[in-house]
Amino acid sequence: MGQCELSIIIPVYNGARFLRDTLESVRAQTYKNFELILVNDGSTDSTPDICDEYAQKDDRIKAYHQKKEGKSKAMEYGYNMACPHTSIAFLDGDDIFAVDMFENMMKYKDYDIVQVCFRHVNTERILKYKWKSDSPIIEFMSGEELLYRYFYPDKNSGGIGYLWGMLINRNFYKRMEPVMKKAENTLPQNYMSNVYCVPRFLLNTKKAVLLNKVYILHRISKYTDSRSIKPNALHYESALANQMNLEYYEQMGCKFAYDKQIVGFYLVILKIWYQTVTSEADREKCEKNTAMVLKYYKEYYKRLKMVKCKSLREILEKSSIKLFGFNKTLWKITVGKFRYGLMYKLQI
C-alpha cells in the first residue's frame, strides 16, 4: 500500500447492529490507500468491541473511544486524529458503499468537493441491492449549482447534499473550520452536522464535481436516530440550525434555497412538536419546546405563504403546514400520526 491519501471518519454511537456490514463495505473498496478512523461516542452496546476488533485485524483502521459528547464532537475528534494532507470523507456507521466509490471520487481530489448520489434503502433490502455497472455521468459545477441540484434533484441519479456523500479537499476543509467552530457554542450537537455545514460548504465552494450515480445505500431503519420518535437534544437543536440556514440563505441572496428551506424548516419544527407532545416525559422541556415551535410557526408564516409551489408534493407539504395552524389536534391524528407514528414503526 502506498502513502495514505484519504482519511475516512466514522463516528458511531450504539451502532453494533449494522457496523460490521459498513466496515466490510469500506474494507472492500478497490481504492486501498486510506485510513479508517472509528470514533466510538460513548456507546453502551458492543460497538467499542467491534471497533477494537477491526482495528486489530486491519492496520488501516484506528479505533478511538470518548465519553458521549455527540456526533459533531466525535466527527471533530476523528478529523483531529487524521493523517495530515489527506482528503476527508465522513461516513455513517450503518450505510453500504459501491466498491469503486472512493476509486472514482479520488480521481477528482483536487476539487473542493466531490459529491456522489445515494439511495434510501430498507434494511431487509440493503445487502441484496444490485449495483449498476455503468460509468457515472461526471458533472463539473460551482457549489451553488450543486446546492440547486440538492433542492431540485430531477437530473440526479439519487439523493445528494449530505456530508456522508462528499469527498472534501483538505485545504478547503481547513478554510471552513472557522465557520464550523463559530457555531460550536450555539449548536453543540449540530455544528458539524449536515444541516449546518452543507449550505455553508456549498455556497463557499468554487469547484465541485458531481459523480451522478448511486454509490451509497443509506439505511432506513427504526434503529437510526433520525427515525426515533423520542426527542433528544439533537432534535430540539435542529430547529435552531434550520432557522440559521434561513437567515444564511437570505444573507447570501440565495432565493431558491430560501424558498425550499422554509418549507423544510416548517416540516422540521412540526416533527419536533409531534415528538414533544407524544413522547417527551419532562414537562418543562415539553412546555419550552412546544412554545418554541409555535413561536417559529407564527414568525415565518407570512414568508411561507409567499412561496409558490412547483409540484404536487410541495402543495401537499404546504397544505399540511396550514392544517397545523388551523387545527393542531386534527393535524396530530392525521398527518403527524401517519408520517411519524405509523410510517416510522413500519421501518425495519
pTM of the model: 0.93
Higher pLDDT pick, 325 / 125: 325
Q: Are 218 and 267 contained in the same domain? A: no
CB 106 within 8 A of CB 46: no
Q: CA 133 to CA 189: how far, in whole Å?
A: 38
Q: CA 193 to CA 201: how far, in whole Å?
A: 11
Q: Domain boundary residue among 225, 242, 262?
A: 225
pLDDT, position 145? 98
Q: Domain boundary residue among 204, 225, 246?
A: 225
Over pLDDT 90: what percentage of the chain? 85
Average pLDDT over residues 144-164: 96
pLDDT, position 149? 97
Q: Are 210 and 333 contained in the same domain? A: no
Residues contacting 87, CB < 8 A, separation 6+? 5, 6, 7, 106, 109, 167, 168, 169, 170
Indicate whether 307 belongs to any domain.
yes
Q: Are 212 and 301 contained in the same domain? A: no
pLDDT band per the 50, 70, 90 thresholds, residue 156: very high
pLDDT, position 342? 65
| DSSP code of residue 337 | I
pLDDT, position 219? 92
Indicate whether 158 belongs to any domain.
yes
Q: Are 45 and 16 contained in the same domain? A: yes
288 pLDDT more than 80: yes
Q: Domain boundary residue among 199, 225, 251?
A: 225
Q: Are 260 and 128 contained in the same domain? A: no
Over pLDDT 70: what percentage of the chain? 95
Q: Are 158 and 290 contained in the same domain? A: no
Indicate whether 220 belongs to any domain.
yes
Q: Which three cell numbers stand for residue 183?
A: 457555531
Indicate whether 56 belongs to any domain.
yes
CATH value at residue 199: 3.90.550.10
Indicate whether 200 belongs to any domain.
yes
Q: How many residues comprise the chain? A: 348
222 pLDDT more than 90: no
Q: Are 210 and 310 contained in the same domain? A: no
pLDDT, position 38? 98
Q: Are 218 and 282 contained in the same domain? A: no
Q: Which three cell numbers stand for residue 242?
A: 434550520
Q: Are 167 and 286 contained in the same domain? A: no
Q: Are 214 and 270 contained in the same domain? A: no
Q: Are 205 and 238 contained in the same domain? A: no
Tally the C-alpha atoms within 13 A of residue 305's C-alpha that lie toward its C-beta. 8
Which residues, in sequence order, are bridge partners of residue 88? 7, 168
226 pLDDT more than 70: no
Indicate whether 1 belongs to any domain.
no
Q: Is 87 helix (H, G, I), strand (E, B) or coil?
A: strand
Residues contacting 218, CB < 8 A, separation 6+? 92, 95, 118, 119, 120, 121, 159, 164
pLDDT, position 83? 96
Indicate whether 29 belongs to any domain.
yes
Q: Are 123 and 185 contained in the same domain? A: yes
233 pLDDT more than 70: yes
pLDDT, position 344? 58
Average pLDDT over residues 92-109: 97
- What is the rounded average pLDDT for all residues in the chain? 93
316 pLDDT more than 60: yes
pLDDT band per the 50, 70, 90 thresholds, residue 9: very high
Range of the structural domain that residue 319 is part of: 228-345
Residue 105 CB neighbour total at 10 angstroms: 24
Q: What is the number of domains present in the chain?
A: 2
Indicate whether 102 belongs to any domain.
yes
199 pLDDT more than 90: yes
